[in-house]
Amino acid sequence: MSIRPVVLEDFPETSFEDIETTVSPVNWPKPYKSHQSSPLKEGGGAPSTASSESTTFSNNKKRYSTHTESDEEGSAFLDDFEEFRGKGTTDDLVQTHFAQREEEDGSPFDERLEDRDELDTLTKRFENKVDLKSRNLSGISRPKPTLSRSFKQPQSMLNLRERTGKQIPSSNRPHELTNSRSATSLRPGSRLGSRGIQYKNSMPVLSRYDIIREENEHENYNDEFEDDLKFDKGLLQPQFLTEDDLKSPLNLSPSQYTITADDSLLTPQLHKRHREWIKPSQLNMFREPLRHNKPSTTKLNNTKKLSVNHRLKTIKQEIDHNTPMKKGRMIYNPETLSWEGNEKALSKFRDVDSYDKKAIIIQGKPDLKPPREKKSSSKLGAKQHGKVVGRMMFDQENLCWIRIDGDEKDPFKEIPDFIPPSNVQSGYPMKGLSSKRSQSQFGPNRQSLSGRFSSSATTRYHSLSTGPSSHDSTFNIDSKTLEKFYHEENKWSRKVGGWFILRDAEMDEYDNEQGLPDPKSNGYMYEIRNMVISSARN
């Protein structure tokens, strides 16, 4: 894969050693000498060595030094590193670092010469940006990306250092040229000094090593990415930065961000790769403004992302509940924990709920205080409080719909309604009864001959409160009791229902023809007499 090596080279800052040596005020000139005379140069960086070095470097100074025993420059570098750590203020370091770089102008590296012009312009641009931010932290924070890169190619920590001094073998040069170009370009921009070129040399060198490339080829891209992240936060920062720096909101290198944002500085590969590196910091950056109800900012940031990155970031966003999300026209506001963007649609529902407006839909809120004075026939009272649909209004007391205007006509008025005429006269109409319960599923029909337990029409009358005398609790049967009634009836049906066969005229006729006794005749009343007499005779 051509991408892999390129990716590695995309991070010229990986030359952690470069920074250190550069930063160290005492030894900075040394590296150059050492670079040239580095014995490792010939070694070509055995993979095993490289890996061991990287670990020692990050975690154990002593081991690191032992490794560099054979290498004077290495020990010098270490010293530099220690000094750097000893330094209290970062500003000093940065200043010295830059000052030294200035002195380095006459860099012996030929390959940098062709980029000189471009680098100068980039450096200026970068300096301007730093000035704007009134921060000198850029120099300090630089190790960070370097570190992350060094992690990525941890093996090369020492090798790198040596290689930078090596002057980069010509055998690798063609390769370096193609891939490292971007790295060299990056360098000057990020380092704020043209001198940085010299250190950049080490970066392309890195990519030249097949070892590294091979190793990376076997790695999963995602794994790499995750590992890098771990390194950034945990292991490396404390070694080079004070706690204050770590706490600083800008502990992420501004240069890092600047580079990323400035696509013109980067080759397409670098651009892509770099984005991924910076991803966590970028997320943080746009997370802040979004918290203050600026979803539009998200948009802007998001639109910048390219397809692959964008997909990755979308996943991230969904994982993080603090991150605003956008789906279609809806935007998730983490502060209110709600989705925004459909206020218009919601307002329609609010209108429906609002009491004054006559909703097309029956409002869901029940009338908790139905007016007591309202009677079934009083339309005015009902008008004020009932639900109105068209010309009909719901009478909450009688639970029925009545007309707002005009006379109320009871369509069932003339239907006798189960009470025979004689009873209707007795003054107990069934009007106004509320049907508490429909029991049509119960109640077998006694009138129907089709089946013994089929439901009948009469079972539809099953509200048990009475109209005029509803105040008399005697005739109010609660649903529980009613249930018991049906339950018992069903039990009876199961137990002795078999004793009762629905009979029709034909069956009666048949029984008569057969001379069978009528079960309801008084014949049974003589049974006991017959028994007594027969027993007396015997």
Interaction site with another protein (CB under 8 A):
418-420, 422-423, 426-428, 430, 433, 439, 442-446, 452-453, 456, 458-459, 461-470, 472-475, 477, 482, 484-486, 488-489, 491-493, 495-501, 516-517, 519-520, 522, 524-529, 532-533, 536
Measured N-to-C along each axis, helices 268-291 and 221-231 cross at an angle, to the nearest 10 degrees, of: 50
* Residue nearer to another protein on the CB measure, 118 or 511: 511
Smallest gap from Cβ 537 to another protein, in A, equals 10
DSSP class of residue 455 equals B
SS (H, E, C) 407-434: CCCCCCCCCCCCCCHHHHHCCCCCCCCC
> Structure tokens of 310?
């964008």
Smallest gap from Cβ 500 to another protein, in A, equals 4
241: alpha, beta or left? (left if phi > 0; alpha if psi -120 to 50): beta
> Structure tokens of 458?
């009469």
CA distances from 221 to 7, 215, 318 (A): 10, 12, 21
* Residue nearer to another protein on the CB measure, 55 or 455: 455
Report the C-alpha gap between 309 and 312 in whole angstroms: 5
* Residue nearer to another protein on the CB measure, 334 or 432: 432
* Residue nearer to another protein on the CB measure, 296 or 440: 440
Smallest gap from Cβ 408 to another protein, in A, equals 23
Pairing type for strands 388-389 and 338-340 reads: unpaired
* Residue nearer to another protein on the CB measure, 346 or 532: 532
Smallest gap from Cβ 397 to another protein, in A, equals 19
* Residue nearer to another protein on the CB measure, 238 or 468: 468
- Provide DSSP, 14-40: G-HHHHHHHH-TTTTHHHHHHHHH-TH
Smallest gap from Cβ 488 to another protein, in A, equals 4
Smallest gap from Cβ 461 to another protein, in A, equals 5
Closest by CA position to 112, among listed 213, 205, 3, 24:
205
Smallest gap from Cβ 436 to another protein, in A, equals 11
* Residue nearer to another protein on the CB measure, 2 or 426: 426
DSSP class of residue 406 equals S
* Residue nearer to another protein on the CB measure, 121 or 473: 473
390: alpha, beta or left? (left if phi > 0; alpha if psi -120 to 50): left
- Neighbouring CB atoms inside 10 A of 400's CB total 13
> Structure tokens of 226?
């995750």
* Residue nearer to another protein on the CB measure, 353 or 472: 472
Burial of 87 (0-12, 13-18, 19+ CB in 10 A): middle
Smallest gap from Cβ 380 to another protein, in A, equals 30
Smallest gap from Cβ 375 to another protein, in A, equals 20
